[in-house]
Structure 1
Amino acid sequence: MEILVMAGQLILGLSILVGLHELGHLLAAKAFGMRVEQYFIGFPPKIWSIKRGETEYGVGAIPLGGFVKISGMIDESLDTAHVNTEPRPYEFRAKPAWQRLIVMLGGIIVNVIVGILIFVIMTYKNGNTYLAAKDAKYGIVAYDLAQGIGLKTGDKIVKVNGKEITDFSEAISVSNVFLHNNSSYTVERDGKLVDIYIPNNFVDKLVDKKAVAQFIEPIEPFKVGDLVPGQPATKAGLKSGDVITSANGQPIHFYHEFTKIVKPLKNKRLTLGINRNGQPLTLTMTTTEEGTIGFYPELLLPLTKENYTFGEALSIGTKKAFQVVFDNIKGFGKIFRGEVSASKALSGPIGIAQNLFGGIWVWDRFWTVTGLLSMALAFMNALPIPALDGGHATILGYEIISGRKPSDRFLEAAQRVGMVILLGLMAFAIFNDVFKAVF
């Protein structure tokens, strides 16, 4: 069922974004009097279509893209039947270069607008709920990767890259920490300030699912939250609101202490000391094969909630949207410098469905991920690769500056090269997803 939910979210999200992207091209083309022959969401074979005026609108069976076919344009269809005829007034090639440029940028512009709108609306609707750095008063749990760079459980992170943090999430932000070069933490340890330097290639370890289950998290006091029916905790009589004080005789104060004791116990006997409304109790159970007992913790560190006016949300949401673009640029820089492996960092549709959307349909997460993908799609399409909008825009920019229009033969060759590059990248991304999922 989770696979269907992931696939459904991916298909819906991409269909919305691709449909709007291609609509940007269509509206710009029609505004300049160009004939749009086809507007399709999805690639052939065709599932359904209807013709309205000069344009056929339809849906293709492969939901990983879409296209708009504009008369007189050499595009991904590689239709060159028109090249030996005189340009007709309604054709793409007959229009001034600045109009053709706007048409090519129409999809990118729409994706940027959609991404900003989603981030602004989600920011205004949900505000910001976060753990203030001052409230992470017990410090951090440092797992293996964190210990590898010198962090210790109990450290209190007070600065990132020399700047004091107010939100604990700033300490684990990929954008703020791991995509920068020469990043560092300043931690309070035993009453002293200690600087911890982060290797420039550290993000390569963070994107490896085998190497990192966790990096750091705040040390959290807890009590028992919701219970899973039919699991050992429920059968043994554990109740929501119980406070676990010991596990197999070892004292428990924080959630990481509980998981450290219980997780290695697979199908093993477990004795819990419980405080229930001030009364001590002892419960005995057998853990599952995964080393769990079947409850969700209610974490007790206080969270801070900020609500925003629409004006504030407009500013913050726009900044969040463009941060996606800046992060992509930094990420590509890491790949080109060899600090991050492309096979670890790049994901195709399978990876996006698994890592971003997840197996549970949560509308807030769906729209947040869709906004992120909208900005990422705009960025990727802006790259100056033939067959992408950015490739067409680069050629048109040359034409505008030089006053010389490239030949149709050159445009056809560039489109073919671009298609080979894009198909190769897509094949790599899908193979990479399958490889990571299997191995």
Structure 2
Amino acid sequence: MDIVIKLSQFLLSLSLLIVLHEFGHFIPARLFGTRVEKFFLFFDVKFALFKKKIGETVYGIGWLPLGGYVKISGMIDESMDKEQMEQPPQPWEFRSKPAWQRLIIMLGGVTVNFILAFIIYIGIAYAYGERYIQNDNVKDGIWVTNSAMEDIGFRTGDKLVSIDGKPIENFSGSTERLLLSKEVTVERNGDIKKIMMPVDFIDQLMKSREGKEGAGPIMGVRIPFVIMGTDEDSPNAGVIKTRDILVSLNGEKITYADEALARVEGLTGQTVPAVVKRDDKEIKVDLTVDDTGKMGIFYAPGLGLTNLERLGLYEVSRKQYTFMESIPRGLQKGKDRLVSYGKQLKMIFNPETGAYKGVGGFKAIFDLFPQTWSWQAFWEITALLSIMLGVLNLLPIPALDGGHVMFLLYEMVSGRKPSDKFLEYAQIAGFFVLMALVLFANGNDIYRWLFK
């Protein structure tokens, strides 16, 4: 059932983005009197699942869910309709329109993507508001949960002060900023320390995760040791219960899970006294640490804002927006996401960062969606994907919107239109480049699935 929910969200989001992107081309094309022959969600290679002709346009759904398209008359595109291009230009064709109209038609798709993302962020701000932990409330510092973070100098208990010189006010979202940063300032035991982020930190991060199931966070707020279960053969199986909170181990107070994990390392092969909190009562138990330094206990890696607040560890800030207030907030969030994705793309195209190794395809997108239906999560992910789709389509690669825009701008500046033969060759070359990128991204998914 979980995979059905994930798949439903994935397909709904993808379909929505594709249809609206193609409408971004369709609407200005029709406004300028350009004939649109086909409008398809997904690709109809050899056959279509559904199609119906309305007026001059065939609307349909293809069987290959790798995107969608509109076929505009008199345009050199992925259809490579050479027969039509060999005929004399007709007034309803794309090639007969002024350059400025063709430019607007080509920019229509990405324009819709960006507008859609901003509208969604405005809607999210209005409908859900914001819940977050202010950085000042993270009084005992962060929990470093990745070895690559430790290797470059971070330690559990560090308090984040600033990233690239900008003070951190909202702890939520600081991980993404940190990954894209060059310098992070932390407070450690009252001292201020600067940690330089290596150019290839993303590569180091991916190597640290090799052989481990799931990506997992690299840092977070410190949380208590909440017990979620035990191994069947663990001697502690009948001693503790799910949702017990470990508050003392071998006579030492335990506040956070990282403290418990550190203490266990020195208790190999021993049975020691402990105290767990159960239904607001403290209960004494004896816990056994085996010869490998394990207790056979599963703990909760994350608790969520509601539980952290209920346990009295962190104050969760809430902000609700009126409709008018949600507009600037949504626009700001959309801008932040756009800038952030631009930085990520820059890192991917810089071989020194190694970020290209983490590029994913459809499986990576599929994994973004939660296993339980959440409209807030759905719209957050859809807005992010809309920005990604818009930015990627602007890349100056023939076969993408950005490639067409590049040639149109050349025509408008130079006054010379590239020949149809040149555009055909460029389209073919762009198609192979695009296919290489798609194969690389999805190949990364397959490689990680098989070997990591």
**Which TM-score tier does this pair reach, normalised by the shorter chain?**
0.7 to 0.9
Q: Does 1:80 align with 2:79?
A: no
Give the residue type in structure 2 aligned to 1:155: D
TM-score, length basis structure 2: 0.85
SS in 1 for 2:12: helix
Give the residue type in structure 2 aligned to 1:196: I
Cα shift at 1:223? 6.1
Q: In the alignment, which residue of structure 1 is the partner of 2:285? A: 282
What CA distance in whole angstroms lies between the structure 2 residues aligned with 1:30 and 1:207?
Answer: 47
What CA distance in whole angstroms lies between the structure 2 residues aligned with 1:216 and 1:247?
Answer: 24
2:200–2:354 CA contact under 8 A, matched in 1: no
1:28–1:106 CA contact under 8 A, matched in 2: yes
1:39–1:204 CA distance, 2 compared to 1 (3 A): same
SS in 1 for 2:68: strand
Q: Within 5 Å, which residues of 2 pair with 1:88-103?
A: 88-103=90-105
Cα shift at 1:384? 1.1
What percentage of residue pairs aligned between the two structures are identical? 39
Offset from partner CA, 1:231-290 (integer Å, 9 cap, x none)? 9999656375x542234666422133345567999xx99975223445534376999x99
1:120 to 119, 122, 126: 122
Q: Does 1:169 align with 2:182?
A: no
Give the residue type in structure 2 aligned to 1:43: F
SS in 1 for 2:429: helix
Q: In the alignment, which residue of structure 2 is the partner of 1:353? A: 366
1:208–1:123 CA distance, 2 compared to 1 (3 A): farther
2:160 to 157, 160, 164: 157
| Cα RMSD after superposing both structures | 3.2
Q: In the alignment, which residue of structure 2 is the partner of 1:421? A: 433
2:203–2:355 CA contact under 8 A, matched in 1: no
What CA distance in whole angstroms lies between the structure 2 residues aligned with 1:222 and 1:230?
Answer: 16
Cα shift at 1:113? 0.9
How many residues get paired? 429
Cα shift at 1:199? 1.6
**Between 62-71 and 198-207, the greater mean CA deviation after superposition:** 198-207
SS in 1 for 2:51: strand
Q: In the alignment, which residue of structure 1 is the partner of 2:220? A: 217
Cα shift at 1:50? 1.2
1:282–1:314 CA distance, 2 compared to 1 (3 A): same
Q: In the alignment, which residue of structure 1 is the partner of 2:443? A: 431
What CA distance in whole angstroms lies between the structure 1 residues aligned with 2:132 and 2:221?
Answer: 12
2:289–2:295 CA contact under 8 A, matched in 1: no
SS in 1 for 2:82: coil
The gaps in structure 1 that reach 5 residues or longer are none
Give the residue type in structure 1 aligned to 2:409: G
Cα shift at 1:18? 0.5
What CA distance in whole angstroms lies between the structure 1 residues aligned with 2:28 and 2:388?
Answer: 22
Q: In the alignment, which residue of structure 1 is the partner of 2:180? A: 179
1:208–1:27 CA distance, 2 compared to 1 (3 A): farther
Q: In the alignment, which residue of structure 1 is the partner of 2:192? A: 193
Q: In the alignment, which residue of structure 2 is the partner of 1:33? A: 33
Q: Within 5 Å, which residues of 2 pair with 1:394-409?
A: 394-409=406-421
Q: Does 1:23 align with 2:35?
A: no
1:141–1:256 CA contact under 8 A, matched in 2: yes
Give the residue type in structure 2 aligned to 1:26: F
Cα shift at 1:343? 4.0
**Between 98-107 and 251-260, the greater mean CA deviation after superposition:** 251-260
TM-score, length basis structure 1: 0.87
Offset from partner CA, 1:127-185 (integer Å, 9 cap, x none)? 2211111111111223422221222222222222233221123542x2x33323xx222
What CA distance in whole angstroms lies between the structure 2 residues aligned with 1:404 and 1:348?
Answer: 38
SS in 2 for 1:166: coil
1:272–1:283 CA contact under 8 A, matched in 2: yes
Cα shift at 1:84? 2.4
Q: Does 1:334 align with 2:335?
A: no
2:394–2:403 CA contact under 8 A, matched in 1: yes
**Between 424-433 and 328-337, the greater mean CA deviation after superposition:** 328-337
1:264–1:291 CA contact under 8 A, matched in 2: no
Q: In the alignment, which residue of structure 2 is the partner of 1:410? A: 422
